[in-house]
Amino acid sequence: MKSLPFIDLVIVIAYLVGMVAVGIYFSRKNTSADQFTKASGSIPGWAIGISIYATFLSSNTFLGVPGKAFGSNWNSFVFSLSMPFAAWIATKYFIPFYRNSGAVSAYTHLEHRFGAWARTYAVICFLLTQLARMGSIFFGIALSLQALTGYPMSTIMIVVGICIVLYTVMGGMEAVIWTEVVQGVIKTVGALVILYLVVVGVDGGMSKIIEVGKVDDKFSLGTFAPDFTQASFWVVLFYGFFMNLNNFGMDQNYVQRYHTTSSIKEAASSVWLCVYLYLPVSLIFFLLGSCLYAYYQGHPELLQTIKMQVAAERLPGGTSAAITNLASTLTPADYGDKVMPHFMVNKVPVGLLGLIIAAIMSAAMSTISSGMNASATVFSVDIYQKYIKSNLSPKESLRLLYIATTVFGLLGMVTGIAMIGVKSVLDVWWMLSGIFAGGMLGLFLLGIISKNTKNTEALTATIIGILVIIWMTFSSQLPDEYASLRNPLHQNMIMVVGTLSIFLIGLILTRLKKQVPDQEEMVLDKE
């Protein structure tokens, strides 16, 4: 980071060293797998709440949300509005279920209900979701730090990834939670600082920002028409509800935290604290995107610089005329993710820049470290101990968790490198998470709600649901002569339709199977 002013460089290095030091400090406690995965149930609820909030507030939020608001409007904020509904269901039904079962894995229950295939299927979906999440977050942090430092995105991912692996492997879940508490505060302060600097930089202040936003419809939540072919209010609301229900209800990142508290009440309060924190703070990030839009409308020369940069990246080795011509065709949606890093490079004063970089890094590190720990736990409990070796000694269990945590961290890093060049990191994450999580949530709800559904009905419903998800995801690639077979719905509906397909088909098959024996009994009675 030699291009950074010295004081900012010191702040960034101090932050990285501090995170690793936290891991070293808590490594003394990690003498068992239970301590590594659940912190022995000794974490207070308020810390868990801030930890979950920090996990939600990833670099996808820190960079992707302002970029999304800059490029379009506040339509994606509806995702946040759906959180209280999902949180209510999770705290009323799911958390008591997990706490009473005592299983550290969120997917053990599926094997008890439907067999080993269901547990394995859910685990695979979860691990793929985590790789998509970690990859998109690695990409997000590299995107911003590249603008600040000039180093290649792949190099940035490797350096940051090594630091994350070190403190996560050494410190376990307790280190992850307490570092996330610190990171949650840093991220919030960083967002407020940037917001203040942008508002001050706009000639006319907040009144001008509101005026520009109203003219260009920047505060819209999307159309309220019942239209599911575009990102309408209802599409994002339904997607957000099912995605947040998946997060709070069966994502190992969150389920594992429920076991680190001392009671069901503490675990439930942690979820509500996350909601109370995330809703207003996510609104700040959308407001930040609108403020940046107004700022750059007043500085068209800076906007042209960004557009030329994006055009040059899309046409490597292209002529100046070709790059200029491409830049003239770009829309705000094409370069929204570049705007906040550009503002930080040019307008954040020395000293504060180091704090902002630390905030962005913490936004990535909290979510990635959680994903690494949760993925390692699921792999250890649901794959290794089930299919490879069940009777592990305490020392072997801990060593397995160390190795698995490292491997998943490296895989997330590789996934991030593979994403270099995508248009919108938030759109990529929403699409991938919807694909992988849809089938998992549908099966889980079927197992929890429908007590009469058995293995055959669940397996049949899951296979049909997977086929539906595959069709909705890839039918857009069909040639024009088969255009009528393409999925007409918005891609965010993949999560909704995939979940409902498995759940409802499972219920219908269960009902039909129940009617057949009833009819047979009636025939026997008549005879």
Is 450 strand, coil or helix? Answer: coil
* Sequential pLDDT tens for the chain (527 residues): 346 677 887 888 888 888 778 777 777 766 666 667 666 566 787 888 888 887 777 666 777 788 889 988 999 999 999 999 999 999 998 888 888 876 667 788 888 888 888 888 888 888 888 888 888 788 877 876 776 677 788 888 888 888 888 877 877 777 777 777 887 888 788 888 889 999 998 988 899 999 999 998 999 998 999 999 998 999 999 999 998 998 888 877 788 778 778 888 888 998 999 899 989 999 999 999 999 999 999 888 888 988 998 888 788 878 888 889 988 898 888 888 788 878 887 888 877 888 777 777 776 777 788 788 888 888 888 888 888 887 878 788 888 888 988 998 888 888 888 777 665 555 666 666 666 666 788 888 888 888 888 899 999 999 999 899 889 888 888 888 888 888 899 888 988 998 999 999 999 999 888 776 655 555 545 55
Write down the domain spans for the chain: 6-526
Q: How far is CA 75 from CA 222, 235, 237, 298, 510, in A?
A: 5, 10, 10, 24, 38
Q: What does the chain come to in residues? A: 527
What is the rounded CA–CA span in Å between residue 53 and residue 193?
19
The pTM assigned to this predicted structure is 0.80
CATH of domain 6-526: 1.20.1730.10
DSSP classification of residue 94: I
Query: CB neighbours of 30 closer than 8 A, spacing ≥ 6?
Result: 36, 170, 171, 172, 398
Cα 514 to chain centroid, rounded: 40
